[in-house]
Structure 1
């Protein structure tokens, strides 16, 4: 196994992110640039575009903003590119990349990986009628399906690199695979090197969201400094699976134990059973240590054999949604906003009945600034300005159009203080739901096309995984009740990061000091977390399903809250449909600590 490390730059975390990372990282002597463009909603958008135009359906800005302006520098510096920019049409993305290379007279090989797109097998899949893997829901109407994609792993990427590819373009693969594929190729890791694969996957997980590892969305956000010039992350990975996270010199942002720990817990469920196509990862004992200014060392993770199925995500349409934001300011702003929203629905419902359209299937009003959504934690002062978000769902686009028309049509009959900044009236948009199920690996054939040379690839079959067999670490012991105690908000003791897993939200909480963890563990019970988020949870706090996990290596806790995002993604009409702000809500949670410990807080 080679003893040299490799430097991988995380250059994109979603479709539409700023293109500033590529030139920044090209000047930082990296060996690889990796780009993650895809999410479930992205796949459905690309699928609709491909249905309208057979040449569309991929991340066009990968071609226009990355390859066209930077291909010559990429070639000159011998940097390898790995991107899941192919979306639902990797072949067209690959042809566009090859056209750029020809136009610029460069000698770069392009590999295109396909096989993840199962939409052509829709009828057979519908006949088998798999159940939704998390909720047990029945298979949706096949005529409403927009996309079906198996989440491929990293070994096809490694194979493409071994065939001499300079640029590897995939369709739907797991986000971390673009990094793990480079590690497998460079270090010769095999399918049985479970700990190494888990460690490379963790490196990919930290890089996949770009500057979220370097100060973006960070609890201590002021430490990030100049975010207009934020540095994108560089993972320097060693053959033993350990790695450091840094950023280019002279850039904004920061790389600390907090930024990296937050990103490790971002959008994961069970940290001891983080399931990927190539390995089942256990991050619970990973240690994260500050190694220098803007440099953090991450120890290897633990891994278990790969599962025998691919997670497969299907998106389908379920009616329409629409809404908008308006503001009210001045005296009684919150009550005025509520009055306005209530009467918008009164008017719209009268018109619905006149057209025999039926009621809205779901409605939502959130008064942002009034803290109306926080129940027992509401502010005790009267806000002088609020933003009202009003939205609804319906099976017919016409019904959403009626709501949007009445939202603007009530403008002269409103209580005083209404304001808005907008152009054209909002329009109805499709509700896109996610349906996840498992596909046996032996039923998916992967093809790798390296500039016309086609290779058929079959993944290792893997084996079933039993979460009940996991050896769980003993939780922190409950601390003794101190003689003198004070109550402080969680933010004084911890960092937090939250995100979405379908209709579930995860909130990772990391103690700033190991000494704080027993008090945090004791204070943050599933019951207290349920109470804080009860207004979001379907059925309220009493119906909450919350899992609590312990990560002793990073002095952290991960909560996974079910049915808390109103369907999640574009299926939701919530203001925060992806739970991105949930960590900030939890950071206000009270924690009792000894008075002498409180005296040592910064």
Structure 2
């Protein structure tokens, strides 16, 4: 229930793409000049939003079946729990793959193993490998539902016939179910007839055609500048000391909005949070072939928005990951080291 510039700001940067042009049914919204002001307890004034007329297109989202998926999770406890969990998961997938080959079945289309509790979702940035209790999550994709039934059978046997410390299946024996994928596209309004059915009478409704959206006419991105060379040091602090952040999904893409706690931090954030540096830090979630990072400035809020394209393994219920909507991406980025002046580092330390 807390209403502050931080909580409101996080909602504004949540699940957006280009903040200069957020496409909505009735307007194209420009968030770049939005400003926030705390005007009372649990009261924040939001101003500066601008807009363009609606476009000449509708956004259409369609779903379609694309194979079958299954997810199994189990507890692994004891010394070297993360390593044991990984070995067990690999062994199960290898055994099932061998059964497929013997039976003339196609191999898995995709698999995912995540050792939860060892910071596996952090990729190379993980710090904890010494925990003695983890949950091992295995997900698999296959066109044949019967093939995933073999996988479920092997998972059920693992508790009594594999590594010591393997305990109860989370949620019981897994079952395969259809994988549903999302396809989004734009359709010209002129190609769609809108109607209203009232008491059995269908009537056509005239809809304004809107205006053609010209991305090249959008304003140039704001440059916050960088810190002067004479104040540069080797002192770093985690991003969380300098900013708030919030992340979410857009289909197979994810966004991370970063809001500076103070305007004086912007030059340091600008220098540290480049498209390339964020792509490198978050490379464990980006598709190796189609993944990319784009950055925009939101000067009204002293903020940046990052769009991580093709970073969710298919996104939503199509993804085999434990975080298919990128909800934890911002929390990962908040650990990224940012170079600051000695003066800022000293002030942060004194305020702790």
Partners of 1:416 and 1:372 in 2: CA distance = 22
CA distance in 2, matches of 1:423, 1:492: 38
In 2, the alpha carbon distance for the partners of 1:339 and 1:303 equals 54
Task: For residue 431 of structure 1, give the secondary structure of its aligned residue in structure 2.
Answer: strand
Q: Secondary structure at the match of 1:561?
A: strand
Cα contact 2:75–2:170 (8 A) shared by 1: no
C-alpha separation in 2, matches of 1:546 and 1:584: 17
The answer to whether 1:499 aligns with 2:221 is no
**Structure 1 pair 490–464 and aligned structure 2 pair: CA distance change class (3 A):** same
| 1:434-453 equivalent positions in 2, closer than 5 A | 434-448=182-196
SS of 2:317 mapped into structure 1 = helix
Q: Structure 2-normalised TM-score?
A: 0.93
What aligned pairs does 1:201-220 form with structure 2 within 5 A after superposition? none
2-structure distance, mates of 1:419, 1:437:
45
On the 8 A contact 1:473/1:552 being kept in 2, the answer is: no
Hey, what's the Cα distance between the residues in 1 that align with 2:125 and 2:331? 13
Indicate the larger mover: 290-299 or 530-539. Answer: 530-539
Pick the aligned partner of 1:522 from 271, 290, 301: 271
Q: Are the aligned partners of 2:82 and 2:129 in contact in 1 as well (CA < 8 Å)? A: no
Deviation at 1:581, TM superposition (A): 0.5
The 5-angstrom pairing of residues 39-438 of structure 1 reads 253-379=1-127, 382-420=130-168, 422-438=170-186
Distance in structure 1 (CA, Å) of the matches to 2:67 and 2:280: 32
C-alpha displacement at 1:586, in angstroms? 0.4
Partner of 1:480 in structure 2?
228
User: How many equivalent pairs are there?
Assistant: 348
Partners of 1:484 and 1:434 in 2: CA distance: 47
Partners of 2:310 and 2:109 lie apart in 1 by 17
Candidates 303, 306, 330, aligned match of 1:556: 303
Distance 2:207 2:270 in 1: 41
Secondary structure class of the residue paired with 1:585: helix
Distance of 1:353 and 1:342 partners within structure 2: 17
Task: Please say if 1:490 is aligned against 2:239.
Answer: yes
Is this contact kept in 2: 1:374–1:532, CA < 8 A? no
- The normalised TM-score by structure 1 is 0.56
**Cα distance in 1 for residues equivalent to 2:129 and 2:17:** 37
378-387 or 589-598, which moves further after superposition?
378-387
Structure having greater relative contact order (Cα 8 Å, sep ≥ 6): 2
Name the SS of the counterpart of 1:600 in structure 2. Answer: helix
Contact map agreement 1:442 1:458 (CA 8 A) in 2: no
Contact 1:319 1:431 in 2 (8 A): yes
Relative to its length, the structure with more strand (as a share) is 2
CA contact (8 A) 1:327 1:386 kept: yes
Give 1:485 shift. 5.5
Match of 2:205 in 1: 457
For structure 1, the residue ranges without an aligned partner over 5 or more in a row are 1-252
